[in-house]
Structure 1
């Protein structure tokens, strides 16, 4: 029997959910309906995906009896929609950030446990092919001990984001991926934020993270840079992996401890001690 899936929210990210769900074989996934409060957006999704649509997510759930609901609404609505679905013992995939507050997130986890449902957060960067490959190589021990991770996620402000700051909207990607690749939880954080061009929420965050296994992470995220940068470096005993999220490219810079003429190299930029390999 296919898994019956409904989607609440058909904005930019909701359309991505619908596109991916349609790519599954019909014997695996059945898209049973969508809900969207904004009528033109709802009509666009119905026209493109030829699926039953509702203006109210409660009507969608009661009419279609899904096994799983994708919650792809603005962050401030995550708790309201997800709690309604979970309370009916229906599993939820909620876009990141999970909720607006830690207390709301914990409440959803407890509700899912009480009702015997599952809840997952859509941290899509874990499935970026470059991240998948780095994880495979780290598990195989190819980099040795990982001691430093550095994430840069920069770019201009997306006007559609109005209910959270850059930390919840963007930095959550990198915090999740760094925890995943370091295979350790974060035990200590020092961070600075600024509001440069926005009145309510921060648009810049810089952080230094200490992981419980001793690794150190650096976080550089903003909505102030005119061009997009999406990079993560992972440094270990044998060298460094460099991930470009946008192009899904992965590079390996190998350590080389042979004697080097540093006086000459000081005049150059972008020089690697060892070989560089595009993976």
Structure 2
């Protein structure tokens, strides 16, 4: 049983606490730390768990550090954790610089500990059901639109939202990014609140990503096009549909759409993969626990986060340069 502590008492921190308490076969929740006394009282009353007076005391009392809150000095917490040989789960890696991330990679390797970077969409059941159907995507279109969250005002929409989709695109396209085209507009606080990004890859694949946090409703969709197949994912609704071109009657397991074209004996099949009714936070925490127990690399490790952050920083620099002009 691994002793774990949560760093933060914000809304997302509370979701982590709530789900860690459900994983009693994986973790023992020792307590939490947050400098905000009001949030701490609320958290203590809701979950009946111990509040630690300092993050140093909590780190030294646990095996696994779960850094969630955006207001805490996450980089310093991670450094201290590695120096104390603790495994670390880190939310929002896009808030670090490339130099900070590289240093964390070096320290974690030296300490021989596991580090998982939070990306809840990698564990979204809709994405998990779609992923086995992806093979050499050549065109990807992503929309991630949300209502404005004033707590994220210190970060641009790339760091806040699009970083999730950059990570997924880099996961499913087996090639290097060769060209980035961007457009973005600051609306609320001087940092881009809406952005469109086109990523072109060495193998000819293209990804078109749009992110906005100035909207009245949330939209989280991805469409993936590849040879003889089109995949549609709705992260919010947790749905997935796969349309594929096949020989007629090649399978009776999917709904067919006959084609009246020059293709001979072909039809389009609609597959609706089974989607597990799962909790993405629980799945990513379970995955992290398994990586520690089995001494394997986490699915979303620091190297993975560093590559995503490298592309994200290029995007941010290009957008801010254009805005200044």
| Aligned: 1:153 with 2:144 | yes
| Aligned: 1:209 with 2:199 | yes
Does the 8 A contact of 2:65 with 2:81 survive in 1?
A: yes
| Aligned: 1:192 with 2:191 | no
CA 1:249–1:277 in 2, change beyond 3 Å: closer, same or farther?
Answer: same
Picking from 272, 279, 288, the partner of 1:278 is: 272
Does the 8 A contact of 1:155 with 1:224 survive in 2?
A: yes
Per-residue CA deviation, residues 71-108 of structure 1 (Å, 9 max, x unaligned), is 01216722122112122111110002353311111111
**Structure 1: runs of 5 or more not aligned:** 139-143, 261-272
Distance 1:172 1:20 in 2: 24
> How many Å apart are 1:258 and its aligned residue?
3.6
> How many Å apart are 1:31 and its aligned residue?
0.7
Per-residue CA deviation, residues 94-125 of structure 1 (Å, 9 max, x unaligned), is 00235331111111111111222222201111
Give the total of aligned pairs.
257
Does the 8 A contact of 1:97 with 1:172 survive in 2?
A: no
Q: Which residue of 1 is the match for residue 243 of structure 2?
A: 253
Q: Secondary structure at the match of 1:232?
A: strand
CA 1:259–1:178 in 2, change beyond 3 Å: closer, same or farther?
Answer: same
> How many Å apart are 1:245 and its aligned residue?
0.6
Per-residue CA deviation, residues 147-193 of structure 1 (Å, 9 max, x unaligned), is 11111001221122132111001001101111222244434322122
Distance 2:56 2:178 in 1: 39
Does the 8 A contact of 2:136 with 2:173 survive in 1?
A: no
TM-score in terms of structure 1 length: 0.85
Q: Which residue of 1 is the match for residue 280 of structure 2?
A: none
**Structure 2: runs of 5 or more not aligned:** 246-257, 274-325
Q: Which residue of 2 is the match for residue 72 of structure 1?
A: 68
Q: Which residue of 2 is the match for residue 49 of structure 1?
A: 47
Dislocated runs of 4+, deviation >6 Å:
none
Does the 8 A contact of 1:76 with 1:163 survive in 2?
A: no
Distance 1:190 1:13 in 2: 32
Distance 2:102 2:169 in 1: 22
CA 1:109–1:254 in 2, change beyond 3 Å: closer, same or farther?
Answer: same
Which structure has the higher relative contact order (CA within 8 Å, separation 6+)? 2
| Aligned: 1:121 with 2:117 | yes
Does the 8 A contact of 1:32 with 1:52 survive in 2?
A: yes
> How many Å apart are 1:253 and its aligned residue?
2.8
> How many Å apart are 1:275 and its aligned residue?
4.9
Does the 8 A contact of 1:75 with 1:97 survive in 2?
A: no
Distance 2:95 2:176 in 1: 20
Does the 8 A contact of 2:141 with 2:207 survive in 1?
A: yes
Q: Which residue of 2 is the match for residue 134 of structure 1?
A: 130
Q: Secondary structure at the match of 2:215?
A: strand
Q: Secondary structure at the match of 1:58?
A: helix
> How many Å apart are 1:28 and its aligned residue?
2.4
Structural RMSD (CA): 2.1
Per-residue CA deviation, residues 6-58 of structure 1 (Å, 9 max, x unaligned), is 11012011111112211113x42111111011112112222222221124212
Larger helix fraction of residues: 2
